[in-house]
Amino acid sequence: MKRRGIFLSWLALWALTQAVSAQDKNLALLGEYSSLSAHIERAKNAFQRDNLAKCEQEVLFCLEKLPEHQEAHFLMSQVLYKRGEFEKALEHILAAEEGYLKLTEAVSFLEQQKIKKKMDNMASLFDDVQEYTVADKAAKSRGSCQPDRYSKDLQDAKDTLAKEERWNEADPNQEASPIRANYHYWHGNCLFRLKQLPETEAEYRLAIKADPRHSEAYNNLINLLFLEKRLDEARAFLSQAEAHKASIHPSLKKAVLEIARK
């Protein structure tokens, strides 16, 4: 029995160590990511000015420091796409998606730790309320000269518990966010250039699922369906785009609707 108790204590200590280790690792990841923000901003500005060499320089610096940096991979894919290096661009967009999932997992883990701490606090506060309720009743029943003290402690504990409960309602436990719509969109663009049309369509659909107002994804998907003479599907996505106020190129809309009327 004693050995079993020692084993359980060791197991609990091991689990705690693992949690602390994961927390430290995720904090380090987010810290490194944050420290590279200025380089990413310079890379974005350079890309907007069409200074691809400067953008690449900043991006490669970030990837050397943090190989899974999703924004760096995404920008690098844009640079390579502009240069016509579509296979390499695809590699970087895949790395961007993987890095995004890793980052959201890190954020989710740390949020879970915060939630656990909040829940532990709520449990402790609930115990305090019960304890103060008993003490308050006992003090009043025996005519203690300090009943107000227990009443105040009880009210303070109830107020704090109410705040914690409101926090819990306002900040529900949510799963990590899906991959960004823009990543799926550019993933689809790379695949289109590589003539992988079924995979292209799948990525555009994922982009629209992630962001039902993503105009570029709608335009490219509708155009793809139109070229493949899948007119019913093209019209369905046209209607969906208009319902979500996504902007469709007038000539594409006209072509889809005119064919439908014939």
CA terminus-to-terminus distance, the chain: 84
145: tokens are 């000269």
What is the structure's pLDDT at 101?
86
Percent of the chain with pLDDT over 90: 51
Q: What is the pLDDT of residues 221-236, one digit of tens each?
A: 999 999 999 999 999 9
Choose among 235, 223, 238, 214: nearest CA to 192: 223
81: tokens are 């796409």
**What is the identity of the amino acid at 113?**
Q
Q: Are 231 and 262 in contact (CB under 8 A)?
A: no
What is the structure's pLDDT at 34?
82
Mean per-residue pLDDT of the chain: 77
What is the structure's pLDDT at 260?
57
Q: What is the pLDDT of residues 1-10, one digit of tens each?
A: 445 554 445 4
Of 67 and 172, the one with more pLDDT: 67
Residue 216 pLDDT exceeds 80 = yes
Residue 146 pLDDT exceeds 70 = no
Opening angle at CA 211, ends 95 and 188, nearest 5: 45
Choose among 106, 46, 120, 112: nearest CA to 82: 46
234-244 mean pLDDT: 96
What is the structure's pLDDT at 124?
58
Q: Can you give the pTM of this predicted structure?
A: 0.67
